[in-house]
Amino acid sequence: MSGLPFHRRHDVRLALRYVVAVALVLVFVFPIYWLFTMSFKTPDEIFAFPPVWYPRAIQFNNYRVLFKDGDAATVGNSLILATVSTFFAMIFGTVAAYSLARFKTGGENLAVWIISQRMMPPVAIVFPVFLFYVWLGWVDTYVGLIILYTAFSLPYVIWMMRGYIEDIPLELEESALVDGCTRWAVLWKVVLPMARSGLFATAVFTFVFAWNDFLFALVLTRTEVTTYTVQVTHYFGGQSNFWAKIAAMSVLGTIPVFVAVATMQRYLVRGISMGAVKG
């Protein structure tokens, strides 16, 4: 390329960059495309060879079955569990993070100790938790899973929010204290608005964690609060797999996360980069 004039070299480089970008997008987007189209295909189309790249007609039969059998309710369960646990984790986590950031609660090491909880593999605690929950009568209840998800998300929320709160100039809070606010009012009127991007970014990740959880839901639910991730596995049979149901259920399970990320995108990017600058 060294023989080419500068602007040609520049063009070639740009073109190469686009080729790589498009290839990457295809790699990431294709499975999602395939999932979506499969959910609208008839069984014949799903098993056709050579593959059918898009359904001949959009038909909602796969979804209709899910709603008729009540399987779609598991998405509702996931939604309740993820939303409520995110709500509580954000409240408790933010208050705890404020305490760590501003009052140095527990000294310098408590925060590290808290985040280390997050590094524990869930599978290491799921069976003790199961036995404990059997004793409490919490297996297959909303309360049981909400408390577990909240507890499991807290270290992450505390760690992230602590970073965001430490970035807020102390003078803003002091000024509010002098102006007549209590600590709680400072948290509500100054800290939360200042950390808004971080708050939303953290909430989205917390939500996605609970939403995607499979292990806890598999072990701790049976019939009442089955989540969609567990429900999908019911369609894998020993003899055959119900691909149409799997696809439709997976699409239903993707939509809430897609909506959450799309609406919060503005805050997500800012929130994540806030953390990045902090280091």
Partner 1 sequence: MSDLKISGLHKHYGSFHAVKGIDLEVPSGEFTVLVGPSGCGKSTLLRTIAGLEEASAGRVEIGGKDVTWARPRDRDIAMVFQNYALYPYLSVYENIAFGLRARKVAAGAIDKRVKRAADMLGIAPLLQRLPRELSGGQRQRVAIGRAIVRDALLFLFDEPLSNLDAQLRDDMRVEIKRLHQELGRTMIYVTHDQIEAMTLADRIVLLRDGQVEQLGAPLDLFERPATRFVAGFLGSPKMNFLAATVTEGAVVLSDGTRLPLPPGRKVREGQAVILGIRPQHIAMAGAGALPGHVRVAVVIELVQPTGSRVHVNMPLGGTSIIAEFAAHDVTAPGERTTIDIDMNRAILIDPQSETVI
50 versus 180: smaller Cβ distance to partner 1: 180
How many residues does the structure list for the chain?
279
80 versus 172: smaller Cβ distance to partner 1: 172
**Which residues does 167 contact at the CB level (< 8 Å), separation at least 6?**
195, 274, 278
9-17, 103-111, 122-130, 187-195 -> range binding partner 1 (CB under 8 A): 187-195
Within positions 146 to 185, which residues make up the interface with partner 1, using CB under 8 A? 169, 171-172, 174-182, 185
**Which residues does 236 contact at the CB level (< 8 Å), separation at least 6?**
242, 246
Under a CB-based contact definition with an 8 Å cutoff, are residues 228 and 77 in contact?
A: yes
172 versus 208: smaller Cβ distance to partner 1: 172
Instruction: Give min distance, CB of 189 to partner 1, in A.
Output: 8
73-81, 107-115, 123-131, 192-200 -> range binding partner 1 (CB under 8 A): 192-200
Instruction: Give min distance, CB of 93 to partner 1, in A.
Output: 22
Helix, coil or strand: residue 182:
coil
Task: Give the DSSP letter of residue 52.
Answer: P
Residue 118 exposure: Cα atoms within 13 Å on the Cβ side: 16
Specify which residues 236 forms β-bridges with: 241
Q: Which two tokens stand for residue 270?
A: 């800012």
Instruction: Give min distance, CB of 67 to partner 1, in A.
Output: 43
Specify which residues 241 forms β-bridges with: 236
Q: Is residue 11 within the footprint of partner 1 (CB under 8 A)? A: no
Instruction: Give min distance, CB of 174 to partner 1, in A.
Output: 5
31-39, 117-125, 188-196, 234-242 -> range binding partner 1 (CB under 8 A): 188-196
Gap between the Cα atoms of 47 and 260, Å rounded? 33
Instruction: Give min distance, CB of 99 to partner 1, in A.
Output: 17
Instruction: Give min distance, CB of 176 to partner 1, in A.
Output: 7
**Which residues does 152 contact at the CB level (< 8 Å), separation at least 6?**
118, 122, 209, 216
94 versus 221: smaller Cβ distance to partner 1: 94
Among residues 195, 219, 206, the alpha carbon closest in space to that of 257 is found at 206
Within positions 193 to 232, which residues make up the interface with partner 1, using CB under 8 A? 193-194, 196
Residue count, binding to partner 1 (CB under 8 A): 18
Instruction: Give min distance, CB of 104 to partner 1, in A.
Output: 13
Task: Give the DSSP letter of residue 190.
Answer: I
Q: Footprint of partner 1 on this chain (CB under 8 A)?
A: 169, 171-172, 174-182, 185, 189-190, 193-194, 196
